[in-house]
Amino acid sequence: MSNERRHRGELQSMAFVSLLLKFGVAPIPAPADWYALPLRLIVGFGFVQHGYAKLSRGADGFIAILHAMGVPFADLLGWATIIVEIVGGLLILAGAFVPVAAVAMIVVLLVAIFTVHLPNGFSSIKLMSYDAAGAHFGQPALRRRRGAPFCGWLFEGSPGSLIG
């Protein structure tokens, strides 16, 4: 009796594992090489967009914020950040030199996290300036809302949002 019960339990666990493999590994009928494409598009476009925003508003404004924050070599690092965001994002979009691009992009993200976002919050509003009093933010951009309309509902304090 115990062997039969154990055998039935093994069959049930094998069925469960095969179900997980069916839906967990290959949820869409596409080659495994294509699974990274959505992530590459999101990350690559996000970096290009942030780099282009710094460039289109004027690199001098971003560099002035870095100076005010006390970042050493602010001119060099400001331009390096813009170049890493634009070129790295394009490389990720193209799927070329991904490991090399990712290292530089990780450095940019870690610096942003520890110098801006942890002290001032992880919000999606625009950093306008930085002085002795701290960071000064502007209103959220309407462009962002059109690009990802559900994000405002999901994370902002609107009726029905997840965070109230």
- Residues 97-124, mean pLDDT to the nearest whole number: 87
Strand 134-137 relative to strand 127-131: parallel, antiparallel, unpaired?
antiparallel
Least confident segment among 34-43, 79-88, 136-145: 136-145
CA 136/CA 114 separation, integer angstroms: 17
The answer to whether 45 touches 93, Cβ cutoff 8 Å, is: yes
User: 33-80 pLDDT, tens per residue?
Assistant: 777 888 999 999 999 999 999 999 899 988 988 888 888 999 999 999
Torsion of CA 22, 25, 29, 35, to 10 degrees: 170
Candidates 80, 104, 76, 108; CA nearest to 92 is 104
**Dihedral of alpha carbons 69, 74, 79, 81, sign:** negative
